[in-house]
Structure 1
Amino acid sequence: MPELLLELFSEEIPARFQKKASDDLKKLVTDALVDNGLSYESAASFATPRRLALTVTGLPAASPDTREEKKGPRVGAPQQAIDGFLRGAGLSSIDEARIEADPKKGEFYVAIIEKPGRPATDILKSILPQAITSFPWPKSQRWGDGSLNWVRPLRAITATFGTENDEPEVIGFEVDGLASGNTTFGHRFMSPDAIRVRRFDDYVQALAKARVVLDPLRRQQIIKTDAEHLAFARGLSVIADQGLLEEVAGLVEFPVVLMGEFDPDFLNLPEEVIIATIRANQKCFCLRDNVTGRLAPNFIITANIEAEDGGAVITAGNAKVIRARLSDALFFYRTDLATKLEARVDKLRESVFHARLGSQYERVARIEKLAAEIAPLVGADPADASRAAHLCKADLSAGMVGEFPELQGLMGRYYASAQGEKPEIAEAIEMHYKPLGPSDAVPTSPVSIAVALADKLDTLTGFWSIDEKPTGSRDPYALRRAALGVIRIIVDNELTLLLSSIMQDSVKSVFETWDQQNRVFYYFSEDELFENAEGSFSWDRAKYAPPYFGVLKENYESGDFPDEAFAVKPVPIPPFENTVRQLLAFLHDRLKVMLRDQGARFDLVDAVISEGSDDVLEIARRVNALSELLGTESGQSLLAGYRRGANILAAEEKKDKTTYSGRIDSKLLALDEELSLAEAVAETSSNVSTHVSDNDYAGAIAALARLRAPVDAFFDKVLVNDPDPDTRTNRLNLLAHLRDTMHLVADFSKVEG
């Protein structure tokens, strides 16, 4: 069957755009093919710095003929309706329509519209220019006198179509004065001449001869393998960097891997600084000595040409630039070390965190206070946690962090260590930013945990207080990441924390910051704003009041708050409790996502989470224990018994307009099976309560599992709706006791399946 070859040849496409561009090209063309009735077997797209290429195989020579029946108005309908039907169906006379009968609606007209298929070449001539002119580049512009928006100047279009055995046909069209053809070009320097191509197979071979490796994954493999071979020969290993590998593969069409050296004296710099400098400025890989494990004074560069001198000039040029960049980094490092971190803290006043949440200095004050509060809860020294929080953002004003923002925290750790801070304080300065993603390491030392939690909770409560929440795919302040960070720190370190109380204190700290800055709205309840019915304002009452009314301070000088200093007006902002409750619900959502990614079922998470559940570790443990129970035959049988009992209760409670939860009368337990169930439920309820209070959810689940046999026996032998009303009520109370006992672990009514 015929295949399509399309290549868009241009000036250098930025590496960061190439992957998406190749995917977009495939989607645009294949979607258009399908929309026009052309099915296909497979499609593949590729990108190099100078070209986007697409091959589509298994295309038919033409789209199929189509036959459509279009229902029209009833016979005898007004002429206006009939005329509209004729225009829509493309008929010249109503006599060309067929009349069909419907038993209910009577006779009506039907038009048979038959359309012959179109040659695939005609369809391609239409859709390919549209794909090019509508291409969704993240950034593009018009070049020269043309009207086409493209990321870089488009130089040639190759478009051929044909079977394997026939000479392919050029799909002729024109875009912005550029005509399509069957000619492309090789490597810019090593083989710049025009190349005539026919179909995809010989296109790939022709490019390879012209020093172009079309497949980006193949270029990555060449770079990786050649770099590892060069390193191995020197007793070194390449420091893996998948992001850099993908970027470098997007910078070259014919990768040539070389190794260079830099002055070993620069190894006195922190290795992260060396790696960041060489990576950012020269797109080179760093290497590590296999014997010492330390960074080696070497680098791997990927050239785009086979030089006659073996790459000596290229390597020397890059080494020269790297030396200059490392010299700059060394200057920054020494200059930064000359200033104490403590002295840098005050400079944070000049750095705005958020216009409505104050400066970084104010934020640090909040984190410092909250970290000291969290510290004893996680086994940390409050003084150490407070000190680490006090210094945690100090390196933001350092020259090195200004040059490489990705080193924030890490440089603070180096500077703190060099300036005599405790190791745990220095570590916390780096680790308080973590985790930065789902696979990133979490802090594990107590001081680091306290500061990291304080930092993330301040971010969350601060933005929730000003109603800046994530919406859809929009999350400009990375609040989802902060929430996931809080959850992972707690779960991975097996911490039992009541987040509601901590978050309430965090919100109060936000309001205290606003108090000090005398410029923002305070949010209070009406009762707490005023001393009495006459409306005399009371700051003592309002200071930590729940947000509801806004108080805008117009003047602030002495620290006193006279009535005339305020303008009071209603503001539609929820109180403290609502803010914390909404934030807790957000944390629940992120926990669900995390547990789902780990294989847990959404319904099980819902079953163990209630609105006020603020112990994240407890939720995770309950989910795991419940999942284990329901994965067994006993668990499924117990769930079936629960549902049977719950359904009976729901029906009878609705009918009787009451709720059954009263005390069980042992004298009315006439049958052995109901007596056995009552004794089992009583014992299980006590055991489950003990296990839950000890955070032993595996034990609680095991206790529940022992209810299976008495529950099965009860439903096999006992009639719940006994004719005797007292017996019936007693048995319904027994089922209510069973339900409540199982709810000590989870709300089984939310479990699906």
Structure 2
Amino acid sequence: MPDLLIELFSEEIPARMQTRAAADLKARMTDGLVEAGLTYAGAAAFSTPRRLTLAIDGLTAASPTTREERKGPRTDAPEKAIEGFLRGAGVTRDDLEVRDEKKGQVYYATITKPGRDADVIIAEVLEGIIRNFPWPKSMRWGTGSLRWVRPLHSILCILTDDAGEASVVGLDVDGIKAGNTTEGHRFMAPGRFAVTGFDDYAAKLKKRHVVLDAAERADAIWQDATNQAFAAGLEVAEDAGLLAEVAGLVEWPVVLMGRIDETFLGLPPEVLQTSMKEHQKFFSVRNPKTGRIERFITVANRETADNGATILAGNQKVLFARLSDAKFFWENDLRVAQAGGQAWQDALANVTFHNKLGTQADRVNRIAALAREIAPVVGADPDLAEQAARWAKSDLPSEMVYEFPELQGLMGRYYADVAGLPPEVGAAAQDHYAPLGPSDAVPTAPVSIAVALADKLDILTGFWAIDEKPTGSKDPFALRRAALGVIRLVLDSNLRRKLDGILIKGIGHWQAHQGFNAIETRLRAASLLSFFHDRFKVFLRDQGIRHDVIDACIAMPGSDDLALLVKRATALSDFLKTEDGENLLQGFKRANNILTQAEQNDGVEYSFGADAKFAETQEERALFAALTEAEPQIAAAVKSEDFAAVMFALAGLRAPIDAFFDAVQVNSDNQVVRRNRLNMLGQIRKIGLAAADLTRIEG
């Protein structure tokens, strides 16, 4: 069984596209081969800045011959129908077979498709892939019609048999003919060379200074970088994204460590790190004793006679210019911060946040008022919370944040320290955007929590007030993320604050401004609460809680108390995973179904309580006693929000309910007994619904 090797060699492929492109080549090629009737043992894809490579092992030499029997029309069908069948099957009338069936004689055709050699199939599939490759961006060059991410220079496509003999697959794409040759490193080993298979290919590439595997390049970069830093008593700042990007920029990584000029060592480490990463793709090297970033790591794509000295000198020269800009921004911003930052806060009045929601200054005023209101609930000083909210957005007009938007909040903390503000104010400026994602840390300081909640609640209530909600995948103002942030802040801080009142008050602020009334305010608040519930479902599903369990808890009173919802949903989820919980649910559903049908038929509600004196069996009396004992226990546990105790009490009802249904016929001929039993089922329903809306539980 032959092995297949494909290489698509081009000008430099952007690093961000390489991994996805290699995966696309593998998926499309293997899918195409399988659809054409070939099988294979294994496949692996690789990428470097100038090549996509695919190696497929154990490919079948040819597709099998297939025979398909196709049923046609009846023999007395219209001639056009028969001719259409012949065209579709690719046969003549002489090839048809007539068979007798119940409804008459029917034509059958046997379609034979001969197998094809693997090289023919490979050429056909690969050409289609090259012409229709899903690059995010592509280009044409010269006079041809072919599109590729960068000009495509050559195609290597060979089949290697068990004896090690390689044959070139015949393929021509816009004048680029497939062959058995490729190129090594652009500078260190120029010129083409022939290969006979994947092992030969990978070995010859490495001899010619090309490391084919991106993971191997990344490992080599990280090991060499950390070793050089360790030898100098320093450490490299971890950055997995930057490491992957740099590994996609080089075929032969050469790690070089340079120094940062002393002039810039006073800059905040985050400024140095961001500037070097964004502009130069440098790794930051810090002094673990001081936390200062003192050196940098750059990765060259070649070895040089002077061991990289010229490359390093050039990089340091460019870095000096970049950091000079950063130092200029920093010093200008410090002067504004030392003056109290009023110039920035005034500038926010000239920045429109949204044409219907006013300026950033308007938004700051709203956040400050809301933070002051939230502060007592989270244990923060209201004056301090308001002060922090008014400062939190101050760094947005700063020169440093204009240059590096990803530093917003962090620079606010630095500038707050320079302005002599309390440390809680600076911490809130840095933390109030959090959490930005499911793995992001949640603020823990009371003032930071108050400002973070106010920031997110303002943006949510504001957009609901103007009736601009996320639709489909469109969410330009990240409202879904804001709602999830509120949920995590409330839960992680164990806040017992009902959302409904906050949402009504927040949207009510816009009532006169937008021209709607109090009823519409409540409707929009209810819509926003429903939006929170949708995000809450996503959050709880990630915690392993079923969607129907969440629905059952949201349907209960107090669903605007997120902490209460979590307690209820967690207890119910754990209970339903037990045998008692599963069986009790079946008993509840059986009781509810019988009761619902009886109430519909009789036109009355059976909820007036059962009387033990009408019980005819021991099972009835036992269930009556169990319900009488459990009902006050469950009511007390619900009131104290001890849902574990609620579930424990419900578990005690499992056995008497099972015994009741096994021994007792509810719809007795005696109407007094029947009504008593239905009222007993009413008690079961009432007790079950005290825990959650069990009718929403599936199964």
Normalising by the residue count of structure 2, what TM-score does the alignment of the two structures yield? 0.94
8 Å contact from structure 2 (residues 556, 693) kept in 1 = no
Of all paired residues, the percent bearing the same amino acid is 52
Q: 1:693 to 1:266 in 2, by over 3 A?
A: farther
Once the two structures are superposed, residues 525-565 of structure 1 have per-residue CA deviations (whole angstroms, 9 ceiling, x without a partner) of: xxxxxxxxxxxxxxxxxxx544xxxxxxxxxxxxxxxxxxx
8 Å contact from structure 2 (residues 556, 692) kept in 1 = no
Letter in 1 for 2:106: F
Give SS of 1:142's match: coil
Deviation at 1:305, TM superposition (A): 1.1
Please say which of residues 244-253 and 711-720 is displaced more in the overlay.
711-720
Task: Provide the rounded CA distance (Å) in 2 between the counterparts of 1:644 and 1:10.
Answer: 68
Q: 1:388 to 1:305 in 2, by over 3 A?
A: same
Deviation at 1:408, TM superposition (A): 0.6
In the comparison of the two structures, how many residue pairs are matched?
Answer: 695
8 Å contact from structure 2 (residues 464, 507) kept in 1 = no
Letter in 2 for 1:234: A
For residues 576-725 of structure 1, the aligned pairs below 5 Å read 576-610=521-555, 613-669=559-615, 671-725=617-671
Once the two structures are superposed, residues 428-485 of structure 1 have per-residue CA deviations (whole angstroms, 9 ceiling, x without a partner) of: 1111100111100011122211221222222223333444433443333322222211
Deviation at 1:219, TM superposition (A): 0.9
8 Å contact from structure 1 (residues 342, 391) kept in 2 = no
Deviation at 1:672, TM superposition (A): 4.9
Task: Report what 2:101 is aligned to.
Answer: 102
Letter in 2 for 1:338: R
For residues 223-262 of structure 1, the aligned pairs below 5 Å read 223-262=221-260
Give SS of 1:278's match: helix
Letter in 1 for 2:696: K
Please say which of residues 737-746 and 430-439 is displaced more in the overlay.
737-746
Q: 1:658 to 1:159 in 2, by over 3 A?
A: farther
Task: Provide the rounded CA distance (Å) in 2 between the counterparts of 1:194 and 1:265.
Answer: 48
Deviation at 1:33, TM superposition (A): 1.6
Letter in 2 for 1:693: K
Task: Provide the rounded CA distance (Å) in 2 between the counterparts of 1:84 and 1:31.
Answer: 31
8 Å contact from structure 1 (residues 370, 505) kept in 2 = no
Task: Provide the rounded CA distance (Å) in 1 between the counterparts of 2:130 and 2:20.
Answer: 15
Task: Provide the rounded CA distance (Å) in 1 between the counterparts of 2:349 and 2:108.
Answer: 77
Does structure 1 residue 169 correspond to structure 2 residue 167?
A: yes
Task: Provide the rounded CA distance (Å) in 2 between the counterparts of 1:504 and 1:166.
Answer: 76
Give SS of 1:47's match: strand
Deviation at 1:511, TM superposition (A): 4.8
Task: Report what 1:341 is aligned to.
Answer: 341
Task: Report what 1:418 is aligned to.
Answer: 418
Does structure 1 residue 116 correspond to structure 2 residue 114?
A: yes
Q: 1:318 aligns with which of 293, 315, 327?
A: 315
Deviation at 1:737, TM superposition (A): 1.7
For residues 181-580 of structure 1, the aligned pairs below 5 Å read 181-290=179-288, 292=289, 294-339=291-336, 340-511=340-511, 515=513, 522-524=514-516, 544-546=517-519, 575-580=520-525
8 Å contact from structure 2 (residues 272, 293) kept in 1 = no
Does structure 1 residue 48 correspond to structure 2 residue 48?
A: yes
Give SS of 1:489's match: helix
Q: 1:167 to 1:446 in 2, by over 3 A?
A: same
Give SS of 2:691's match: coil
Task: Provide the rounded CA distance (Å) in 2 between the counterparts of 1:406 and 1:382.
Answer: 29
Give SS of 1:373's match: helix
Once the two structures are superposed, residues 697-719 of structure 1 have per-residue CA deviations (whole angstroms, 9 ceiling, x without a partner) of: 22322232232343344334444
Q: 1:695 to 1:68 in 2, by over 3 A?
A: same
Task: Provide the rounded CA distance (Å) in 1 between the counterparts of 2:380 and 2:661.
Answer: 53
Deviation at 1:626, TM superposition (A): 1.5
Q: 1:662 to 1:5 in 2, by over 3 A?
A: same
Task: Report what 1:539 is aligned to.
Answer: none
Task: Provide the rounded CA distance (Å) in 1 between the counterparts of 2:603 and 2:101.
Answer: 51
Q: 1:730 to 1:128 in 2, by over 3 A?
A: same
8 Å contact from structure 1 (residues 366, 510) kept in 2 = no
Task: Provide the rounded CA distance (Å) in 1 between the counterparts of 2:180 and 2:355.
Answer: 57
Letter in 1 for 2:436: L
Letter in 2 for 1:159: C
Task: Provide the rounded CA distance (Å) in 1 between the counterparts of 2:686 and 2:393.
Answer: 49
8 Å contact from structure 1 (residues 660, 732) kept in 2 = yes
Q: 1:717 to 1:81 in 2, by over 3 A?
A: closer
Letter in 2 for 1:49: P
Task: Provide the rounded CA distance (Å) in 1 between the counterparts of 2:510 and 2:420.
Answer: 31
Deviation at 1:257, TM superposition (A): 1.5
8 Å contact from structure 1 (residues 523, 545) kept in 2 = no
Once the two structures are superposed, residues 593-641 of structure 1 have per-residue CA deviations (whole angstroms, 9 ceiling, x without a partner) of: 2222222222222221228721222222222111222233332332233
Once the two structures are superposed, residues 282-335 of structure 1 have per-residue CA deviations (whole angstroms, 9 ceiling, x without a partner) of: 211122334x26134122221111222222222232223223322222221121
Give RMSD over aligned pairs: 2.2
Q: 1:695 to 1:425 in 2, by over 3 A?
A: farther
Task: Report what 2:139 is aligned to.
Answer: 141
Task: Report what 1:81 is aligned to.
Answer: 81
Q: 1:498 to 1:17 in 2, by over 3 A?
A: same
8 Å contact from structure 2 (residues 555, 692) kept in 1 = no
Q: 1:37 to 1:577 in 2, by over 3 A?
A: farther
8 Å contact from structure 2 (residues 609, 682) kept in 1 = no
Letter in 2 for 1:145: T
For residues 17-28 of structure 1, the aligned pairs below 5 Å read 17-28=17-28
Please say which of residues 732-741 and 703-712 is displaced more in the overlay.
703-712
Please say which of residues 399-408 and 377-386 is displaced more in the overlay.
377-386
Please say which of residues 74-83 and 363-372 is displaced more in the overlay.
363-372
Task: Provide the rounded CA distance (Å) in 2 between the counterparts of 1:7 and 1:264.
Answer: 47
Task: Report what 2:696 is aligned to.
Answer: 750
Once the two structures are superposed, residues 221-245 of structure 1 have per-residue CA deviations (whole angstroms, 9 ceiling, x without a partner) of: 1111112222222222222111111
8 Å contact from structure 1 (residues 366, 509) kept in 2 = no
8 Å contact from structure 1 (residues 69, 110) kept in 2 = yes
8 Å contact from structure 2 (residues 61, 117) kept in 1 = yes
Task: Provide the rounded CA distance (Å) in 1 between the counterparts of 2:100 and 2:378.
Answer: 80
